[in-house]
């Protein structure tokens, strides 16, 4: 039987144009969470800046986050623009003590994103201590086909990073409930807080990062301020 999993949803402050400072905020969130898995928002490392340069996996900005993950035995799911074979994607990068690796690319791009990124191939899971973690980025969470495809992978936890305006927090929460019920699994949503995309329609964002149980009930939720982290110990489902 799988062991319990300590999960955190974090909404670090973004320092625009300064990857090292923003990465340091991520590392601080990892240390404060002291969790096995920490979920971060969409494009958390650069902010919602669609033309930001892709972050190479050998960029020194990853170093403080790798060190924090090694110190606490954490896997962090970080949002960043990534590039492979000349194709840019809205990526989720899994970071642990061994370094970063791209594990997911946003499938359902929205608005101007289609001018800057290539869509990912589809639903994906990553393994964390035997827990099958289904991944999604923002609009993916509201696409029934994507949710059904993720559920079909037999997930034990659904993890998503999102960016949206403050008025959209009820939509973020409603989608999390839908995802939980569809996957029969807890949901961790990291929602950006503060001014993460002033040039692209997000001078302020919703925050409210939360962890829901498999019935959609909120177990813990952050407020609207950057820097907040919520932590929940999840028990494996029975049977």
Cα–Cα distance between 110 and 139 in angstroms, integer? Answer: 7
What is the average per-residue pLDDT within 17-22? 95
**Predicted local distance difference test score (pLDDT) of residue 199:** 72
Cα–Cα distance between 159 and 56 in angstroms, integer? Answer: 23
Cα–Cα distance between 230 and 222 in angstroms, integer? Answer: 6
Q: Count the residues in the chain.
A: 239
pLDDT tens, position by position, 51-74: 999 999 999 999 999 999 999 999
**Predicted local distance difference test score (pLDDT) of residue 202:** 86
Confidence of residue 197 (pLDDT cuts 50, 70, 90): confident
**Predicted local distance difference test score (pLDDT) of residue 238:** 65
Structure tokens at 99: 């370094």
What is the average per-residue pLDDT within 32-43? 98
Higher pLDDT, 85 or 76: 76
Cα–Cα distance between 91 and 83 in angstroms, integer? Answer: 9
What is the average per-residue pLDDT within 189-213? 91
**Predicted local distance difference test score (pLDDT) of residue 239:** 54
Region 5-234: CATH code: 3.60.110.10
Confidence of residue 198 (pLDDT cuts 50, 70, 90): confident
Cα–Cα distance between 239 and 221 in angstroms, integer? Answer: 28
Cα–Cα distance between 121 and 203 in angstroms, integer? Answer: 30
What is the average per-residue pLDDT within 176-185? 98
Share of the chain above pLDDT 90, in %: 94
pLDDT tens, position by position, 112-123: 999 999 999 999
Asked if residue 200 has pLDDT above 80, the reply is no
The mean predicted confidence, pLDDT, of the chain is 96
Closest CA to 161 of 145, 180, 139, 133: 139
Cα–Cα distance between 44 and 172 in angstroms, integer? Answer: 17
Asked if residue 36 has pLDDT above 80, the reply is yes
pLDDT tens, position by position, 120-166: 999 999 999 999 999 999 999 999 999 999 999 999 999 999 999 99
Going across the sheet that includes 5-11, the strands are 99-105, 87-96, 75-84, 37-39, 5-11, 228-234
Confidence of residue 194 (pLDDT cuts 50, 70, 90): very high
């Amino acid at each position: 039987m799988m062991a319990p999993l300590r999960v955190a949803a974090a909404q670090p402050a973004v320092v625009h144009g300064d990857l090292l400072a923003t990465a340091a905020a991520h590392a601080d969130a990892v240390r404060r969470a002291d969790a096995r898995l920490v979920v971060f928002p969409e494009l958390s490392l650069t902010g919602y800046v669609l033309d930001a340069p892709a972050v190479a996996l050998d960029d020194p900005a990853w170093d403080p986050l790798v060190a924090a993950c090694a110190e606490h035995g954490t896997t962090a799911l970080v949002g960043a623009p990534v590039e492979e074979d000349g194709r840019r994607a809205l990526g989720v990068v899994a970071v642990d003590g061994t370094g970063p690796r791209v594990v997911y690319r946003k499938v359902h791009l929205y608005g101007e994103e289609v001018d800057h990124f290539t869509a990912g191939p589809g639903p994906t899971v990553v393994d964390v201590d035997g827990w099958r973690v289904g991944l999604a980025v923002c609009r993916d969470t509201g696409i029934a086909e994507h949710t059904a495809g993720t559920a079909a992978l037999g997930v034990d936890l659904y993890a998503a990073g999102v960016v949206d305006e403050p008025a959209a927090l009820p939509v973020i929460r409603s989608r999390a409930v839908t995802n939980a019920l569809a996957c029969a699994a807890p949901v961790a949503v990291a929602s950006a807080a503060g001014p993460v995309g002033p040039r692209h329609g997000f001078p302020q964002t919703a925050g409210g990062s939360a962890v829901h149980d498999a019935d959609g009930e909120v177990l813990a939720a952050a407020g609207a301020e950057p820097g907040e982290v919520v932590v929940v110990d999840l028990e494996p489902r029975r049977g």
